[in-house]
Amino acid sequence: METRLEIKRFPSTLLVIVLALVAAVVLGGALGYTFKPNSVTTAPARVIVVPEGVWTSANEPCVFVDKQKQC
């Protein structure tokens, strides 16, 4: 009677995939933390209406977009 020795290999491909996913998540979190904005504004945006004579093109150039002046 012959016997066979079966060697059960460790699934190295699965290990490599899991390590790659963990590395991607850690790297993404570190880069996200590094490049996050310095401050977060929680207040609503405000629109300030400036009379037309206050700003001149010498101070700040303005352009008209959709019939609205944007400086």
The pLDDT tens digits for 10-55 are 788 889 999 999 999 999 999 988 888 777 777 787 888 877 766 5
**CA-based nearest residue to 48, from 19, 65, 17, 71:** 71
pLDDT, position 60: 63
Angle subtended at Cα 39 by Cα 65 and Cα 60, rounded to the nearest 5 degrees: 35
pLDDT, position 43: 79
pLDDT, position 55: 57
pTM above 0.75, yes or no: no
Contact call for residues 62 and 55 (beta carbons, < 8 A) = yes
The domain spans of the chain are 12-70
pLDDT, position 44: 83
